[in-house]
């Protein structure tokens, strides 16, 4: 949508030349904000992938806990997964597994 506005093919019609808002500035604002939202989504997706790998390897307990807390914002499935992950990560036995060190499995070949 922002690209169309920048190119002058605005779906909102033409803006009167006197006193109208600068439609190109509005278009660029839409492009930048959309790009930032996409970048934020990709970053969160990468963090979720890392969290899954580190949970299976029992590494980075604090990072996994923080991402589980952030996942609770993704309603409804993310909330359920985040809450259950938090409930598992706060168990003393699970903390002890993380403190014992990483495990070697198919996901964590280094």
Q: Is residue 108 part of a domain?
A: no
Q: From the CB of residue 29, how many other CB atoms can be counted at a distance below 10 Å?
A: 13
Domains of the chain: total: 1
- Checking if the pLDDT of 25 tops 90, the result is no
Q: Is residue 17 part of a domain?
A: no
Banded model confidence at residue 69, pLDDT cuts 50, 70, 90: very high
Q: Is residue 106 part of a domain?
A: no
pLDDT at 33: 96
Secondary structure (H, E, C), 33-63: HHHHHHHHHHHHHHHHHHHHHHHHHCCCHHH
**Range(s) of the domain holding residue 31:** 2-8+24-100
Q: Is residue 15 part of a domain?
A: no
pTM: 0.74
Q: Is residue 91 part of a domain?
A: yes
Q: Which residue has the tokens 């699970």?
A: 94
Query: Within 13 A of 12's CA, how many CA atoms are on the CB side?
Result: 16
How far is it between the farthest Cα atoms of the chain?
70
pLDDT at 59: 92
Q: Is residue 90 part of a domain?
A: yes
User: What gap in Å lies between CA 4 and CA 91, rounded to an integer?
Assistant: 53
Q: Is residue 109 part of a domain?
A: no
């Amino acid at each position: 949508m922002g690209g169309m506005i920048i190119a002058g093919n605005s779906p909102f019609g033409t803006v009167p030349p006197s006193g109208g808002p600068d439609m190109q500035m509005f278009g660029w604002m839409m492009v930048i904000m959309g790009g930032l939202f996409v970048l934020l989504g990709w970053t969160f997706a990468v963090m979720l992938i890392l969290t899954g790998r580190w949970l299976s390897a029992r590494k980075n307990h604090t990072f996994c806990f923080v991402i589980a807390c952030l996942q609770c914002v993704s309603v409804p499935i993310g909330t359920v997964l985040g809450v259950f992950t938090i409930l598992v990560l706060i168990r003393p036995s699970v903390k002890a597994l993380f403190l014992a060190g990483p495990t070697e499995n198919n996901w964590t070949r280094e």
